[in-house]
Amino acid sequence: MTILFQVISTGIASYICMSIGVMFAWPSSTLQLFSSANTTLNRPMTETEGALLGSLSSISALISIPFVSFFVDTLGRKYCCMLFAVIQTISWVIITVCYKVEAILAASFLFGICRCIPLVVPIYISEICQASIRGAMTSSAIIFQSIGMLVSYLMGGYLSYDVMNYACLSMTVLGVVLISFLKESPIHLMRKGHENEAKRAIAFYRGTSINSNLVEEELKTLRRALNPDLGGATPEEEKLNSDLKENPKLSWWQYLSKYT
């Protein structure tokens, strides 16, 4: 039961990465349609506009990615994911209801802002999962993004333009709803001084009572990690700290004598 809650929460957080993969591959299914005489838009896209459709999201990603750390530390891991998921939902709304070339390009630019989600989700997952499954769970973000790209290719081949857009919009809305039920990262809450909320978050992700010994032990570990001066480090932490201590600088002769 302890791991079950963490696996479910990981799946919900990674689901947002899947919707990113869907949107990333979306132009490959629509570019030929947009450029043809039978386009669903108000006019066929020019060659330049077709190139922009595939590149605008990469340009806007360069704007948002440098500020990821600021949003993660200010808003928190959960609400940072929600913010970018909402922006992605807005881009799908524009694509679904607007049929102008300019609107589609604007939605593509807006989507690029959300392409930093695969950077945020692994941080979130690593802070809510216990050490024994942390590595495997963190890798799920990239796996889900790849699955999303595959789903996008399949929908583009079998669904009509409007049906695909509504399906993708529904996926992003579902992602926002699901992640709203999760708790914030305990580490982020502790850094902000919200210890009671951190205890509730640990209890939520471990599937146990807030007053259990497991919660208290993890809370102590977080305190030591965030405040090394408190002492009481475990043998593993002491070994890690000793490895991180700066070694004395050797002269070239001492170096040769030691390693030859």
**Which tens digits make up the pLDDT trace of 190-216?**
998 888 999 999 999 988 888 888 888
Q: What is the pTM assigned to this prediction? A: 0.81
Task: Tally helices (H) and strands (E) across the chain.
Answer: 14, 0
Is residue 85 predicted with pLDDT exceeding 80? Answer: yes
Taking residue 14's Cβ as centre, other Cβ atoms within 10 Å add up to 26
Q: What is the pLDDT of residue 255?
A: 47
The Cα 161–Cα 166 span in angstroms is 9
Span(s) in the chain for CATH 1.20.1250.20: 2-182
Section 49-67 average pLDDT: 89
Of the ranges 11-25, 90-104, 166-180, 232-246, which one carries the lowest mean pLDDT score?
232-246
The DSSP output letter for 183 is P
**Residue 124 and residue 133: Cα distance in Å, rounded?**
14
For position 162, what pLDDT does the model report? 92
**Do the beta carbons of residue 144 and residue 21 sit within 8 Å?**
yes
2-182 has which CATH code? 1.20.1250.20
114: DSSP letter? G
Phi and psi dihedrals of 144, rounded to 5?
A: -65, -35
Sign (positive/negative) of CA torsion 8, 10, 11, 13? positive
d(CA 104, CA 158): 21
